[in-house]
Amino acid sequence: MTKINKNYLELQGSYLFSTIAKKVKAFTEANPEKKIIRLGIGDVTRPLTPTIISSLHSAVDEMANKETFRGYAPDLGYEFLRSAIAANDYKMRGCDIEADEIFVSDGAKCDSGNIQEIFGEDNVIAVCDPVYPVYVDSNVMAGRSGKAIEGTGKYSNIIYMPCTKENGFAPECPTEVPDIIYLCFPNNPTGATITKTELQKWVDYANEHDSVIIYDAAYEAYIKDEDVPHSIYECDNAKTCAIELRSFSKNAGFTGVRLGFTVIPKELVRDGVSLHTLWARRHSTKYNGAPYIIQRAGEAVYSDAGKEEIKGLVGYYMTNASYILKGLKDAGYEVYGGVNAPYIWLKTPNNMTSWEFFDHLLETANVVGTPGAGFGPNGEGYFRLTAFGDYNDTVEAISRIQKM
Amino acid sequence: MTKINKNYLELQGSYLFSTIAKKVKAFTEANPEKKIIRLGIGDVTRPLTPTIISSLHSAVDEMANKETFRGYAPDLGYEFLRSAIAANDYKMRGCDIEADEIFVSDGAKCDSGNIQEIFGEDNVIAVCDPVYPVYVDSNVMAGRSGKAIEGTGKYSNIIYMPCTKENGFAPECPTEVPDIIYLCFPNNPTGATITKTELQKWVDYANEHDSVIIYDAAYEAYIKDEDVPHSIYECDNAKTCAIELRSFSKNAGFTGVRLGFTVIPKELVRDGVSLHTLWARRHSTKYNGAPYIIQRAGEAVYSDAGKEEIKGLVGYYMTNASYILKGLKDAGYEVYGGVNAPYIWLKTPNNMTSWEFFDHLLETANVVGTPGAGFGPNGEGYFRLTAFGDYNDTVEAISRIQKM
């Protein structure tokens, strides 16, 4: 008699963005004449840039000819892409990461959900609160979370690291030492960043306690400030304690194209076993490589023309971020983030709960945002807006919010 | 202190195809002048067909324009593709499968590795012996296999169902009842098929014992014989016991494009929980959808022109299969498969082991095949050749083998 994975029954409610989608669908059906502006889910809206489009077309043409057709990709990614990543994202920033320490994948969401599989069930994980839900949910599904604590949105066996306005939404190293620490900077959802000095403390802490940091740097392209690190490998000795996750979704607009990568340095060993080897085995058994045409598009991101175009994309969204930040401040809102990150984190007015403000904003301004409470208990009373909208829509949304 | 997933330490050797790749690399480096012919890994060699190429180009163009750009895909796949699948692969064969019972993914290998996650660790799985290694390895990694039994290539907690020439490489229902049964027909690696009457016995057995069948139908496009079912849902009551995995890799040549799907009927319930719901949750948490442009290519497979072209591709490979089958028979080999499947399963001559024959074939004929032993103990003494090569290369390979 088949038994299900009962850990799934511990999952709290349905996945945040599915819930939002359902609420918006219901509102749209009831109010077909209203023009909804979506500043909720972190999905990009600008088209792919000319260099990317051109690389996709030429890779498609290669697939049409017997001589240049490509079947199964190498398990861990094509050499041309891994080398471009190592050179541009790491060597150029002084990080000693080799091409064969890079694992190409179909995106940082998948990697952040799958990476926990190489660790034992008996590890205690620590997450920021608020947090990107995938880190928690994937660990719940794997039986690592303990039981849900009713009414708290928390699990008994997870260490929550509060991110509050008092600590600038960057947590302190916890006194109870976790085995695996999820960090995401620039942060989703708060838009907070961490300085290199502060991140070095985490690296030292992890090395001291033989913990592993899973560092989600999906938003590194939005960093402007000099003292904010783009990679955790800018810190000393990070290669013995850190895994880094990266994405092409938010810099090059690949949310619907799907490409990302994970870095696991060969020096990263636990229980006498190389985590690089474990992830390679996981990748070659349960994954079959990113599509060739899409890996070519990823390579184009690192061309001179590609880099210029990506700067333009990031600049476009950051203009939105600045506009939202200023517009909300002018309207009297308490706002955070939006400087080195495409997310604006605002305090809900009049002590509304996050979901109350979600409904209020949807109904009054027809603007969709993301309730902070969906990211964890310390997100309650906060709300996330994203800079990924169309500029004119963003201006219109802020104008509507200002009139509320 | 971080603990690794110790189940990985139970994995036996490295992944079959990686080992082959290493051996071939070593041979090529030592003998750069020899022309290797690869009839080993089941990778296609024909280019994508015109209709697919055209759909890829036009989808790429859509991504270049703000109005038609697509970001995140719906979690479970675009409606246009799911509807095309439901209509063409199921309704047209009289199978009552709805679009919302179809989960689009990046391929059957990933799905076959991931599907076990929705089941509890305490299930006993049954696999054919020989078997596609992913079914076993993904269960080893999840802690469901028990210990490796030294020198046997088996695990203590897995039920192996022998597929031998005596039973036509189609196993009998085991007396010890498994919770989860992996079946693959047309079979990889043996090329064997199962009749609808025989498959109905499995469905009845699974329903009687509340087991679940994971039915891998990745090679259904190669079926010629009328009494061989293309889908397990052609059997009565399969919707209460079967999950089906499908691929675009071997029909449309998408091994490097990556597209597949899993069918989980809504009626499929275990422990009072819908497996459809569990997989939907897994998909939406740990996966982020197949690329838009590739889902459009999948849709094109079901157009009239696409269907004709796919028939041509399958026909090309099956011409190879017939050639290999006849050529080996003429040379005195004992051969199986190759009629409703792109795989030819041959008995190694002179009581050679599978790996001995692999080395012999590589060194003498410079032909790469796959050792049967890599698929399980009952594969020992057998060898797999595939029909996915170039026709002229295939003819040349058979000529070289005949001269051995």
| Same domain (yes/no): B148, B181 | yes
Residues of chain B with C-beta less than 8 angstroms from the C-beta of A60: 53, 56-57, 60
Residues on chain B touching A123 (C-beta within 8 angstroms): 2-3
What residues contact B8, with CB distance under 8 A and at least 6 apart? A118, A273, A278, A281, A282, B140, B141
Give contacts of B293 with chain A, Cβ < 8 Å.
56, 257, 293
**Does the pLDDT at position A165 exceed 70?**
yes
Cβ contacts of A44 on chain B, cutoff 8 Å: 71
- B63/A53 CB distance under 8 A: yes
> Are B183 and B260 part of one and the same domain?
yes
Q: What is the mean pLDDT of residues A185-204?
A: 98
Q: What is the CATH number of the domain that holds A161?
A: 3.40.640.10
CA distance linking residue B404 with residue B402, whole number of Å: 6
Q: Is the pLDDT of residue A207 over 90?
A: yes
The count of structural domains within chain B is 2
Cβ burial of B93 (10 Å; 0-12, 13-18, 19+) is middle
User: Does position A336 have pLDDT exceeding 80, yes or no?
Assistant: yes
Cα maximum dimension of chain B:
66
- Confidence (pLDDT) at A75: 85
Round the average pLDDT of chain A to a whole number and report it: 96
Q: What is the pLDDT of residues A82-99, one digit of tens each?
A: 999 999 999 999 999 999
Q: Note the pLDDT tens digit of each residue in A69-86.
A: 999 999 899 999 999 999
Q: Both A288 and A317 in a single domain?
A: no
Q: Which residue in chain B is spatially nearest to A284 when comparing CA positions?
A: B15
Same domain, B74 and B144: yes
> Which whole-number Å values give the CA distances from A93 to A54, A86, A89, A264, B164, in the listed order?
28, 10, 7, 17, 58
Amino acid at B67: E
pLDDT at site A15: 67
Question: What is the pLDDT, as a whole number, of residue B367?
Answer: 97
Chain B nearest C-alpha distance from A348 (Å): 27
CATH number, domain containing residue B372: 3.90.1150.10
Contact A275 B4 (CB under 8 A): yes
pLDDT at B40: 87
pLDDT of residue B18: 77
Q: Tell me if B385 is assigned to some domain.
A: yes
In this complex, do A270 and B3 lie within 8 Å of one another by their Cβ atoms?
yes
Residues B91 and B10 in one domain: no
Q: Let me know whether A129 and A262 are in one domain.
A: yes
pLDDT at B41: 78
Where among A271, A303, A335 does a domain terminate? A303
What's the pLDDT tens digit per position in B248-306? 999 999 999 999 999 999 999 999 999 999 999 999 999 999 999 999 999 999 999 99
B321 vs chain A: nearest CA distance in angstroms?
19
CB contact under 8 Å between B2 and A123, yes or no, is: yes
Q: Do A69 and B61 touch (CB under 8 A)?
A: no
pLDDT tens, residue by residue, B220-261 = 999 999 999 999 999 999 999 999 999 999 999 999 999 999
At residue A14, the pLDDT reads 61
Q: Are residues A40 and A65 both part of a single domain?
A: no
CB contacts < 8 A (A, B): 249
- Looking at the structure, tell me whether residues A211 and A107 fall in a common domain: yes
Q: Are A114 and A221 in a shared domain?
A: yes
Looking at residue A297, its pLDDT comes to 98
What percent of chain A shows pLDDT beyond 70? 99
The answer to whether the Cβ–Cβ distance between B273 and A9 falls below 8 Å is: yes
Residues A215 and A355 grouped into a single domain: no
Domain finish residue from B288, B303, B318: B303
For an interface test with A, give the residue of B1, B2, B138, B316 to mutate (most A CBs within 10 A): B2
A37 and A112: one domain?
no
Between strands A180-184 and A212-216, the pairing is parallel
- CA trace torsion A190, A196, A197, A201 (10° rounding): 70
Chain A residue numbers touching B179 (CB-CB < 8 A):
1-3
pLDDT at residue B339, as a whole number = 97
* Interface with chain A: mutation pick from B1, B4, B68, B104, highest number of A CBs within 10 Å: B4
Kindly state whether residue A260 falls inside one of the protein's structural domains.
yes
- pLDDT the model gives residue A259: 98
User: pTM for this one?
Assistant: 0.96
Q: Report if residue A4 sits inside a domain.
A: no
Strand order from edge to edge, sheet including B343-347: B335-337, B343-347, B382-386, B370-371
Answer yes or no: are the C-beta atoms of A294 and A301 closer than 8 Å: no
Q: Examine the fold and report which residue of A261, A278, A303 is the final residue of a domain before the chain moves on.
A: A303
Binary contact (B284, A120; C-beta < 8 A): no
* Calpha distance B6→A18 (Å, rounded): 34
For residues B326 and B247, state if they share a domain: no
Residue with tokens 């620039």, as numbered in its chain: A186
The alpha-carbon gap from B150 to the nearest alpha carbon of chain A, in Å, equals: 21
Q: Is residue B1 part of a domain?
A: no
Structural domain boundaries enclosing B110: 53-303
Q: State the pLDDT at residue B38.
A: 93
Q: How far is B130 from chain A (nearest CA, A)?
A: 17
Mean pLDDT in order along chain B per 10 residues (404 residues): 96 78 94 95 93 98 98 94 98 98 97 98 97 95 95 93 97 97 98 97 98 98 97 98 98 98 98 97 95 98 98 98 98 98 98 97 96 94 97 97 94
Inter-chain contact A258–B288, Cβ cutoff 8 Å?
yes
Within-domain flag for A2 = no
Structure confidence at residue B15 (pLDDT): 67
